[in-house]
């Protein structure tokens, strides 16, 4: 599903409208999607609240529900930036296609069992699709893809259990 269509669907939902009346200053912070056997069609849309929490809405084929409000996982001093809808020029499908092309042309041996995608606005890179492939051995391939241009602005390989990785910038 296209990101802007997804957001429009959320904005028309009664639970979202009710929540938004009491959270007028909350803003779109991220869109999360995990691609594996269980989560193919589910999205999580997060809104930053003034009390330094995130309210998450789950969008699934069965419908939309306000999932939870929780504390924020961020580095000390880091800011949560607003995700600007008008700056999203690349669809999630296009970002995932770019990630797959990068993986198949430079990391052919890396076969993911899970793909995590977060559309977010970062201080360092601006609005990006933060795409992480996870292998059965917990190796990761992370690509930060500019949400407007489609450029892979950074890539990094590492292991979730502590083996060293390598990092690259601007591979295209």
- pLDDT tens track for 1-43: 689 999 999 999 999 999 999 999 999 999 999 988 777 789 9
- In a domain, residue 10? The reply is yes
Q: Which residue has the higher pLDDT, 163 or 77?
A: 77
What pTM, to 2 d.p., does this model score?
A: 0.88
- In a domain, residue 81? The reply is no
- In a domain, residue 76? The reply is no
- Name the domain boundary from 71, 99, 129: 71
DSSP type of residue 101 = H
- CATH number of the domain encompassing residue 150: 3.10.450
Do both 60 and 100 map to the same domain? Answer: no
Give the SS3 label for residue 82: coil
Comparing CA positions, the residue from 134, 128, 136 lying closest to residue 158 is 134
Boundaries of domain holding 26 = 3-71
Mean pLDDT of the chain: 89
Do both 107 and 57 map to the same domain? Answer: no
If one counts the domains in the chain, the total is: 2
């Amino acid at each position: 599903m296209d990101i802007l269509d997804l957001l429009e669907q959320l904005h028309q939902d009664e639970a979202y409208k009710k929540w938004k009346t009491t959270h007028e200053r909350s803003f779109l912070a991220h869109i999360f999607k995990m691609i594996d056997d269980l989560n193919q069609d589910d999205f999580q849309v997060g809104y930053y609240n003034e009390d330094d929490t995130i309210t998450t809405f789950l969008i699934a084929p069965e419908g939309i529900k306000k999932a939870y409000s929780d504390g924020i996982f961020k580095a000390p001093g880091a800011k949560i930036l607003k995700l600007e809808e008008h700056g999203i020029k690349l669809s999630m499908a296009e970002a995932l296609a770019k990630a797959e092309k990068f993986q198949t042309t430079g990391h052919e041996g890396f076969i993911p069992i899970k793909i995590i995608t977060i559309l977010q606005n970062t201080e360092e890179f601006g609005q990006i699709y933060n795409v992480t492939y996870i292998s059965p051995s917990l190796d990761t391939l992370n690509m930060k893809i500019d949400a407007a241009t489609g450029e892979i602005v950074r890539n990094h390989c590492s292991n979730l259990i502590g083996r060293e990785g390598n990092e690259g910038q601007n591979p295209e």
